[in-house]
Amino acid sequence: MKYVNKLHNSRILIIGGTSGIGFAVAEACLEFGASITISSSTPLRLTSALSSLKTSYPSAADRVWGVQVDLSNIDTVETEIEKLFKETVSVYENGAGKLDHVIFTAGDALSLIPLSKISMPAILRAGQLRFFAPLLVAKFLSTYLVHSPNSSYTITSGSISERPTPDWSVVGSFAGGHHSMVRNLALDLKPIRVNGVSPGVVDTELWRMSEEEKKAFLQGLADKLPVGRPGRVEDVAESYLAVLRDGNMDATVVRTDGGALIF
């Protein structure tokens, strides 16, 4: 059977695609001929990411857009999500076009919360961007995604969902909830496919420490992995591509963690 580039001419929204894993996914999608929109709450970061993408892929400059959106406020998040979708599809067929794929990679800086420090406000803050926002995004997908098993919604989780670690109970609980979210949304949104990607230790900007401290910290974690190194965003992006292209993959969370679960 002749190979078909399933992402060519597809329309993809990457929520949080201005840095880290999301940016790597944006690059990969452009490589395969997709039109993409990335989003960020920070105008400078959005402008910088768009400039980098257009510089790296000059022939794709007319296939890259950006939308500023803030999903961190519980009172305005639903309005912001609707704005994001409306602005994203506005470039297609005078706003009448639809998307093929939506990928949620947005996340704030990782922070540990010891059990003794847990409070309701802390729990809500930890879940706002990582759990509540991707769930609310799903509300709009029936309107803005093509209704087909060729279309998909991909949520980003993390290996903490399956490998408990001290002081990660809050973040780990939300990450574990992503697995149930994926399975239930797959039913609610059928025939649109819903999947997740669960990265392990990955070298991104989300680690709240100096570059020197981060390097030592990540390598200390990676020394316990069979692969012996922290995950690289360009490798993790491959898992997202597989989820997008496999029209038979649904209600599944793909693990890309360097073999962490065998220890």
Percentage of the chain lying above the pLDDT 70 cut: 92
Q: Both tokens of residue 82?
A: 């609707």
β partners of residue 152 = 101, 193
**Total domain count for the chain?**
1
Instruction: Note whether residue 136 is domain-resident.
Output: yes
Q: What is the average per-residue pLDDT within 27-41?
A: 97
Block residue for tokens 């400039």:
51
Which pLDDT band holds residue 202 (cuts at 50, 70, 90)?
confident
Residue 117 has pLDDT above 80, yes or no: yes
Contact assessment for residue 105 and residue 14, using Cβ atoms and an 8 Å cutoff: yes
β partners of residue 35 = 11
Percentage of the chain lying above the pLDDT 90 cut: 73
Contact assessment for residue 174 and residue 130, using Cβ atoms and an 8 Å cutoff: yes
Domain of residue 30: give its range.
11-254
Q: Which pLDDT belongs to residue 114?
A: 87
Q: Which pLDDT belongs to residue 258?
A: 80
Which pLDDT band holds residue 95 (cuts at 50, 70, 90)?
confident
Instruction: Note whether residue 129 is domain-resident.
Output: yes
Residue 170 has pLDDT above 70, yes or no: yes
The strand pair at 35-40 and 64-68 is best described as parallel
Instruction: Note whether residue 147 is domain-resident.
Output: yes
Chain mean pLDDT for the chain: 91
Specify the higher pLDDT residue, 40 or 108: 40
* CATH code, domain with 178: 3.40.50.720
Residue 1 has pLDDT above 80, yes or no: no
Q: Which pLDDT belongs to residue 77?
A: 97
Instruction: Note whether residue 65 is domain-resident.
Output: yes
Which amino acid, residue 193? R
Question: Cα 105 to chain center, whole Å?
Answer: 2
Q: Which pLDDT belongs to residue 44?
A: 96
Specify the higher pLDDT residue, 163 or 2: 163
Q: Both tokens of residue 232?
A: 């690289």
Q: Which pLDDT belongs to residue 206?
A: 62
Looking at the chain, list the stretches that DSSP marks H as alpha helix, in order from N- to C-terminal side: 20-31, 43-56, 77-89, 120-127, 133-138, 141-144, 169-188, 211-222, 233-245
Instruction: Note whether residue 262 is domain-resident.
Output: no
CA dihedral 111, 176, 133, 190 (to 10 degrees): 160
Instruction: Note whether residue 240 is domain-resident.
Output: yes
Which pLDDT band holds residue 201 (cuts at 50, 70, 90)?
confident
CA neighbor of 123 nearest in space, from 172, 184, 163, 80: 172
How many Å apart are CA 152 and CA 199, to the nearest integer? 19
Q: Which pLDDT belongs to residue 53?
A: 97
Instruction: Note whether residue 263 is domain-resident.
Output: no
Instruction: Note whether residue 162 is domain-resident.
Output: yes
Top mean pLDDT of 9-23, 96-110, 195-209 is at 9-23
Residue 242 has pLDDT above 80, yes or no: yes
pLDDT in tens, 129-158: 999 999 999 999 999 999 999 999 999 999
